[in-house]
Structure 1
Amino acid sequence: MLLVFHEYKIGVLYLRFSNQDRVRKEILNLSANTVSNATIVGLNATFSYCNVTVTYTHPGWNDTIHITIYLPPNSTWNGRFQGVGGGGWAASSGAVSLLSPVASNYAAGNTDAGHPVNTASSASWAFNARNDLNIPLLTDFASVALNDLAVAGKQLSNAYYGYGPRHSYWSGCSTGGRQGLMMAQRYPTAYDGIYAGSPAIHWPTFQVAQYWGQFVMNQLDYHPPTCIFDAITAAAVSACDNLDGVEDGVISALSLCNFDPMTIVNTTANCSGTPVTIRVKDAEIVQKVWEGPRTSDGTFLYWGLNRGAPFEGLTNTSCTSLTNCTGAPFSITPDWINNWVLANPTFNLSAITLDEFTSIFYRAYTLYDYLIGTDNPDLSEFKRAGGKMIAWHGLADQLIYPNGTVDYYQKVEARDPAVRDFYRFYEAPGVQHCGGGVGAAPSDQLDAVVDWVEKGLKPDTLAAVTTDGEKHRNLCQFPLVSVYKGGNTSLATSFACETSF
């Protein structure tokens, strides 16, 4: 039974929120207008849709949230609703992210979760007028506004078309991937199918772990130009590329790659035409970044970058010359630590000790894992609801450590050995964050979710292609790996999924 505490009407559109999440809502405004002859760059077609904006608040939270829903014409609607995720600190990627779904005849929606669409910073909303941490807005971002979107999107679709939606889907990568996992964990009946790419899982702690490379450089008081890191990464790829039997610029057999950066100390890197000698400190930084953060007694805290992943994302430096460089942290990391963990926006992270780094790591977990950790391995309710989920992660991801996603999947499997009946995970060798790099990235992952939900077609592999369109692969269902069997290495048919290389 739907428990209704607020209903808003405009024309033929009605919106009713359930109190299943026990957070009251009050609609402030609902508007709609028709958009005709919309286009997408690269798509030789025009389309029209109804643009609906819902503005509402959770009384007592002092939030104002905007949900945007695009509704294609009744004559073309495919009967599905699609929730679309965001990136970084942005709960959505803006209205433009809805164009592709609506052009494919989905009713589609996203939410700003009550704060500006700014991927890099939470500074404008982290603190309220009393200078207290704005936990309600973080809660919106973490989970509550995501379920509100599902409720609103499906009800508005039903009101507009007079039926359906027959099925609903979530699509997102990075923060969008985290959002997908959150829906499966906390709102298991919201979506029939979920695509969760490169998920920002373990948000409280991995955000601290992202600072590890900067911390290591600060400890050594040494910040090399990125061309040094590029040279060491290239040497690792060269040493480990053919461990899978194919030389393609990709480290696929990461478990077999033991390249030691110390082996190229005193060789030179080409820095824009200038030879620069690789030093012991360079190799030390790289090795520690690959290992990931550890405590003073060597206790594991979190995973590091995989060999072959670029250093520019997290262990970046800014240089006025090859000998005058400073650290350039990934913006979300100090934002998270200073604003949310320490509640001190002006704190100088560059001066912390290893014990202080460790303390920050554990404090972040204690304060926020319950709210935004997104690492609950119990997906039994999602399974019982008939949900299906596909996740993938690029093994050369330079921002979110792939082993965090691997660890989560293994924990889900430990609870439910039949996990592949409803949740499948795929690794993408050589692919960077949500795409890019020299590896092959998935090309039709949401379609695979739809086929699984609606046709019962279990996706043993995911079709993938390189950014230049030249090489095709079938990503294997974890823990299987793609093994070369002979023939043209650009064709997916030349590989097979097996247990080991």
Structure 2
Amino acid sequence: MLLPILITTLLWHSTAVSADTDEVVACQPVKLPPLDGLEVVSVTAIERRDHTVPKFKMPYVLDHDIPNLNFCNITVKITHPELGDLTTISVWLPSRKDWNGRFMATGGGGWASGTFDPSLGQAIEQGFAAASTDGGHAIAGSNSDIDPTPWALKEDGSINWQLLHSFAGRSAHNMGVVGKAVTEAHYGVKPHHSYWSGCSNGGRQGLVVAQQYPEDYDGILAAAPALNFPALQMASLWPQIVMKEAGSFPPPCELDYFAELALEQCDGLDGLVDGVIQSIDDCDFDPFQAVGRTIQCNDESIVISNSTAALVARMTAGPTSPQGQNLWFGIPPSCRLSPLAGTKVSPVTGQRVGAPFFVSDAWVKAFLRRDLSYDVTQIGAEEYTWLFTQSLLQYDWLLGSNNPDLSGLRKTGTKLLSWHGMLDELIPYKTIIQYRQRVEEMSGGASATNEFFRLFLAPGVKHCAFGDGPVPVKPINALIAWVEEGVPAQTLVAETKSSGSLVRRNLCLYPQQLHYVKGDPASPESWTCVDKKDAKSKNVQVEKGFGSSIQKILGKI
């Protein structure tokens, strides 16, 4: 399946643990034990030899081929008898000698509960037995992995709550139960440790597991999680509302110029001009400094106007009600604006019009308006605020995935490791900071929280990967060392070749940030982690300003 830019599961090479035997395990359907609340509909097995997982068009999914894979593909279809649903779970199992003794459940992205081949290929390449699920949403002949409209509504137009529950988190739990059972039945021995790995929606699923099913996994890697999903989808529409209210739809290249302007204004705050802003919070971004400048855009010269700068100022400030109350986080100023401030040329009028982000567009049509023909581009400010309210009231209890009570995780000994790119144009990194602070408040402070939940921010990194900043390398290794050896990560190794040469950094444990000292900027030894004196106070103000609960948010509308 072809998946969009949100879909990625960042899996990295881990040290393989050899099995005690080189015994060849037959690739055949396995007999599963009774699974609580689940009924097995079918089990099939296919042996794959010299299999290649091809790269996908979108590099956020998989930007290279994975060749020469040998594994047993066991597919299990399950149902909840009382619901009449049907979910497909695919488990890829490397040969006995290549298995590292571990199980990994992989997350989805966008509207997909799982990404299948891209994430499974990366996992078994590292020696894991790995699983992916369709969440019960796969519909033949549709793009139901990127478009929920084929399954969101029942024939009578009502919400398909059972499938939405599956998307929210139930399918992630079921995948772990089934995947571990298949792994044990196939090899004849339980995996010695089990892990979750996902980014974006896969990161959100990871947090759901941490909050509701902490006993399912020993370690959870939740990158760039789509926290506060109902608020996030409405916030993602804000740039479209801003442009519609102004009656102005600038081309993508004009809007994206302002990311260059932010670098111009703030790049050197960390002690080095290197194309990466280490602390966006310290950047007093002023889009109006661009007014009057001439830029090249689509082979034409454009003079930046005051009205365009005003649009950018509102987009980066974040959504507000007509009364001027802040509702959610805005787009970080050094991010490209075009992914959410999308536009296109109308084939009817020849004029540029809005093009809402596909996840948010479907959210409003299917789950808020319950009308698949609804035109999201016509939403005005008053309706937007009403829809924002309804999004929270109707769905945050199910899809917010923001419960700060991780006492269950703490009791089971499961470890949660999260990282988030600070140049993420789709999910503001401040959402994970807000969540982390709320967990601290319930867990006895930062030091106590670090015993089971560690967060790292990646300056200059976009959604789940790429950008000009170094991207975490082998974060699963850091999680394994924490879980299996009791060695928690103080830094995360990161690297990039975006400039053509290799640049390495050691990302800091939150709330510290990197600061350049001296020496080769490409070397991690030239940087140090420093305490940001006002980091806590600034972030607490952010949390209180935007609400640490639905009640606070709704109180502002």
TM-score (norm. length: structure 2): 0.84
In structure 1, the partner of 2:106 is 84
In structure 2, the partner of 1:4 is none
Q: Are the equivalent residues in 2 in contact too, given 1:84–1:97 (CA < 8 A)?
A: yes
In structure 1, the partner of 2:120 is 98
Q: Distance in 1 between matches of 2:250 and 2:402?
A: 35
Which residue identity lines up with residue 475 of structure 2 in the other structure? Q
Q: Distance in 1 between matches of 2:307 and 2:509?
A: 39
Q: Distance in 1 between matches of 2:145 and 2:90?
A: 18
Q: Distance in 2 between matches of 1:227 and 1:258?
A: 22
Q: Distance in 1 between matches of 2:120 and 2:147?
A: 23
Q: Distance in 1 between matches of 2:269 and 2:126?
A: 41
Q: Distance in 2 between matches of 1:82 and 1:327?
A: 40
Query: Equivalent residue of 1:16, what SS?
Result: coil
Q: Are the equivalent residues in 2 in contact too, given 1:68–1:95 (CA < 8 A)?
A: no
1:264 aligns with 2:290: yes
In structure 1, the partner of 2:76 is 54
Deviation at 1:119, TM superposition (A): 4.2
Instruction: Give the unaligned 5+ runs of structure 1.
Output: 1-9
Deviation at 1:347, TM superposition (A): 2.2
Which residue identity lines up with residue 350 of structure 1 in the other structure? T
Aligned partner (choices 54, 64, 70) of residue 92 of structure 2: 70
In structure 1, the partner of 2:370 is 343
In structure 1, the partner of 2:384 is 357
Aligned length: 487
Q: Distance in 2 between matches of 1:14 and 1:225?
A: 57
> For 1:210-268, what per-residue CA distance to the aligned partner results, in whole angstroms no more than 9, with x for missing partners?
00000100011110111211222211111111011111111212122112111221222
In structure 1, the partner of 2:538 is none
1:187 aligns with 2:223: no
In structure 1, the partner of 2:429 is 402
Q: Are the equivalent residues in 1 in contact too, given 2:137–2:145 (CA < 8 A)?
A: no
Which residue identity lines up with residue 14 of structure 1 in the other structure? K
1:15 aligns with 2:32: yes
1:477 aligns with 2:503: no
In structure 2, the partner of 1:5 is none
Q: Distance in 1 between matches of 2:523 and 2:465?
A: 19
Query: Equivalent residue of 2:450, what SS?
Result: helix
Question: Which of 267-276 and 190-199 deviates more?
Answer: 267-276
Calculate percent identity across the aligned residue pairs. Answer: 35
Q: Are the equivalent residues in 2 in contact too, given 1:194–1:388 (CA < 8 A)?
A: yes
> For 1:299-336, what per-residue CA distance to the aligned partner results, in whole angstroms no more than 9, with x for missing partners?
22110111110112101112479x93211111111100
> Where does 1:285-434 land on structure 2 (aligned, <5 Å)?
285-319=311-345, 324-416=351-443, 417=445, 418-434=448-464
Deviation at 1:355, TM superposition (A): 2.3
Deviation at 1:17, TM superposition (A): 5.1
Q: Distance in 2 between matches of 1:135 and 1:62?
A: 13
Q: Are the equivalent residues in 1 in contact too, given 2:53–2:118 (CA < 8 A)?
A: no
> Where does 1:133-212 land on structure 2 (aligned, <5 Å)?
133-212=159-238
Aligned partner (choices 15, 28, 49) of residue 36 of structure 1: 49
Q: Are the equivalent residues in 1 in contact too, given 2:66–2:121 (CA < 8 A)?
A: no
Aligned partner (choices 229, 235, 250) of residue 224 of structure 1: 250
Deviation at 1:98, TM superposition (A): 0.6
Q: Are the equivalent residues in 2 in contact too, given 1:74–1:161 (CA < 8 A)?
A: yes
Q: Distance in 1 between matches of 2:35 and 2:482?
A: 28
Q: 1:30 to 1:44 in 2, by over 3 A?
A: closer
Q: Are the equivalent residues in 2 in contact too, given 1:12–1:159 (CA < 8 A)?
A: no
Deviation at 1:432, TM superposition (A): 0.6
Q: Are the equivalent residues in 1 in contact too, given 2:110–2:200 (CA < 8 A)?
A: yes
Deviation at 1:272, TM superposition (A): 3.2
In structure 2, the partner of 1:255 is 281
Q: Distance in 1 between matches of 2:497 and 2:401?
A: 30
Instruction: Give the unaligned 5+ runs of structure 2.
Output: 1-26, 55-63, 534-557
Q: Distance in 1 between matches of 2:377 and 2:442?
A: 40
Q: Distance in 2 between matches of 1:30 and 1:367?
A: 37
Which residue identity lines up with residue 173 of structure 1 in the other structure? C
1:496 aligns with 2:518: no
Question: Which of 145-154 and 110-119 deviates more?
Answer: 110-119
Q: 1:17 to 1:174 in 2, by over 3 A?
A: farther
1:245 aligns with 2:286: no
Which residue identity lines up with residue 436 of structure 2 in the other structure? Y
Q: Distance in 1 between matches of 2:351 and 2:316?
A: 24
1:25 aligns with 2:34: no
In structure 1, the partner of 2:474 is 444
Q: 1:44 to 1:58 in 2, by over 3 A?
A: closer
Q: Distance in 2 between matches of 1:493 and 1:188?
A: 37
Q: Are the equivalent residues in 2 in contact too, given 1:250–1:308 (CA < 8 A)?
A: no
Which residue identity lines up with residue 484 of structure 1 in the other structure? Y
In structure 2, the partner of 1:120 is 146
